[in-house]
Chain A
Amino acid sequence: MGSGRLYTAVAAGGFRRYATYRVATAAGVFTNTAFGIILVYTYLALWDEKPHLGGYDQAQAVTYVWLGQCLYATLAIQGGGFEKDLMARIRTGEIAVDLYRPADLQLWWLASDVGRSLFQLLGRGVIPFVFGAVFFPMALPRDVTTWAAFALALLLAMVVSFGIRYLAALSAFWLMDGMGVTQAVMITGVFFSGIVLPLNAFPGALGEVVRVLPWAGQVQMPADVLMGETDPLGAFAFQAVWAVALLAAGRLLQSAATRRVVVQGG
């Protein structure tokens, strides 16, 4: 039980940490709203040409856009969560401080990133979503069960997102400089998460592939759960399998990294 309280405290700290930066949050809300508007009109033009693209009608396409903007910072689709801190700590050697603590490195960062995610959801994500719902026709469920299923899918999406970025961050133990990895996280995140275009609309073999990659668990799955386009249990299973696989890989990499740790800076 004691460790539960610790990681709750870490998550609360992660939440409050991001809450400190109000101007950055406000700027983020503005950015996501502006991008949402641009994307909505782009989508509407596209769906005019190709009705039912990816199996969505226009209202669903609009919903997808605003959900994407809502989850952009929440799931750190382009990075910008804990991983930049962790990479910096590895590079500067501050990681030494984390390692002698009686806490699990992976759980510590997971808790702090979930805290960050929750803040980004409430502080930054909800406003553009509500803005979209007010000014555009959206396909939102009316029953509590679907919203509850969506909440669970979102939580799993947070873990999947963390799992991917944890692997990327640990690479700093070998590469020292995280720039390249950070770029890779940005590009793969934007492309494979479906934040630009729903993965359902990806053509042919490319579509088949992107829909089974872990990134599919980030925006596509929660969106389909919310809009009733998929069986929630199947979505949970997909996300859970990836979450467990990524966390296990992270743990493996972590033990390899800490065994060879050459703590920087003497």
Chain B
Amino acid sequence: MSVTERPLIELDGVEKVFDVRRKTGFLKRERRQVRAVDSLSFTVARGEMVGYIGPNGAGKSTTIKMLTGILTPSAGRLRVAGIDPSRERTRLAHRIGVVFGQRTTLWWDLPLIDSYRLMHRMYRIPDARYRENLDRCVELLELGDLLAAPVRQLSLGQRMRGDIAAALLHDPEVLYLDEPTIGLDVISKAKVRGFLKELNAELGTTVLLTTHDLQDIEQLCSRVMVIDHGRLMYDGALAGLHEVGESERILVVDLERELPPVEAPPARVVKVEGPRQWLAFPAGESAAALVARIAAEYPLVDLSVREPDIEDVIARMYAGAVPGRTEKAVS
């Protein structure tokens, strides 16, 4: 296998165990181990845009921190661009960009442009390259009017755009985004998403993003990984989650008059309101066939199909209702 074909990010049986000491008496401490990440294995190819989701405390941020080299894995093998992050954190830093949605890398009291000048020096970006990248980010993220403003005066959405630009000035091969749209309004979210999409399409930057906003994933990521209790619960296409989550679609039928519940297995009536009835059926089943069957036997006036809500699917997965399954990526 040649170097270029190697995945950009490789995790093999990665674990992270924290020692937590708890006070149990006046001077007694109880030592407990918390497994934040448990035998995690996945790869991300160059140019992929992957969503990494899970409930709070699932191990998302711990994973990101291991990928930047801030935290050292307790066990397993981890490589980013062929580099062992915790051993060569500084060398890796030149090749990755990181945005923590709830923290800022910008200099709080100083104009935004000062932080960028600092990045210029810190990453030793050649002058021409710096100018070019800065101009591009300023244009696409609409930072022009903000460069002279102290960071503390920026709104959350503006600051986030400023942070994303700061992470990209040194042409990182991979960008980690930890909840990049948290707290943003609809318009700011759209701007951030639009920019990331363009970044990935035009520069081929690999993006790994954690989020609680499923719209981020739906609009950006062709692949999603779900983590819970430090374990990978799902790895595959977003659409495939429905299948795994045993989700159901809802067929709403309006009949001519009030009738007893429609009988059309495998669909089952979940609600009746006058002449209107709600039928749940497995998401994998054809709606057309079901409608045809009902239309043949009942006086059908109108109908609509409601797609399953991906949030429900994931919520059920988090709750442990669905046994985890991993669609292994073919490599």
Contact = CB atoms under 8 A, between A and B. Distances in A.
B68 interface: yes
Interface stretch (A76-84, A95-103, A191-199): A95-103
Contact of B70 (A10, A20, A96, A266): A96
Contact of A101 (B65, B109, B122): B122
A204 interface: no
Given A261-B70, A266-B56, A102 B103 contact: no
Contacts of A17: 107, 109-110
Nearest to A112: B107
B65 A13 contact: no
Nearest to A108: B122
Interface stretch (B92-100, B256-264, B305-313): B92-100
Interface stretch (B113-121, B192-200, B222-230, B322-330): B113-121
A96 B62 CA distance: 11
Contact of B121 (A9, A16, A92, A265): A9
Given A13-B107, A97-B105, A266 B122 contact: no
A13 B114 contact: yes
Interface residues of B, number: 34
B298 interface: no
A130 to B, nearest CB: 28
Given A6-B118, A266-B57, A100 B110 contact: no
A16 B122 contact: no
B102 interface: yes
Contacts of A92: 103
Contact of A93 (B18, B56, B103, B109): B103
A102 B122 CA distance: 7
Interface string B39-71: 000000000000000001100011001001111
Interface string A1-39: 010011001100100110010000000000000000000
Contacts of A96: 65, 70, 100, 103
A127 interface: no
Contacts of A266: 56-57, 61-62
Interface in A76-120: 92-94, 96-97, 99-103
B69 A9 contact: no
Contact of B69 (A6, A10, A100, A262): A100
A17 B61 CA distance: 31
Contacts of A6: 118, 121-122
A13 B98 contact: no
Contacts of B117: 9
Contacts of B18: 262
A255 to B, nearest CB: 12
B70 A265 contact: no
A167 B23 CA distance: 26
A2 to B, nearest CB: 5
B118 A100 contact: no
A101 B166 CA distance: 12
Interface of A: 2, 5-6, 9-10, 13, 16-17, 20, 92-94, 96-97, 99-103, 259, 261-263, 265-266
Given A97-B104, A262-B18, 8 more contacts: A6-B121, A9-B121, A93-B103, A97-B100, A99-B70, A100-B93, A259-B72, A265-B102
Interface of B: 18, 56-57, 61-62, 65, 68-72, 89-91, 93-94, 96, 98, 100, 102-105, 107, 109-110, 114, 117-118, 121-124, 150
List of 3 A-B pairs having minimum Cβ-Cβ separation, nearest first: A102-B93, A6-B121, A100-B68
19 contacts: A5-B121, A13-B114, A16-B110, A92-B103, A96-B65, A96-B70, A96-B100, A99-B68, A100-B68, A100-B89, A101-B93, A102-B91, A102-B93, A102-B122, A261-B71, A262-B18, A263-B70, A263-B71, A266-B56
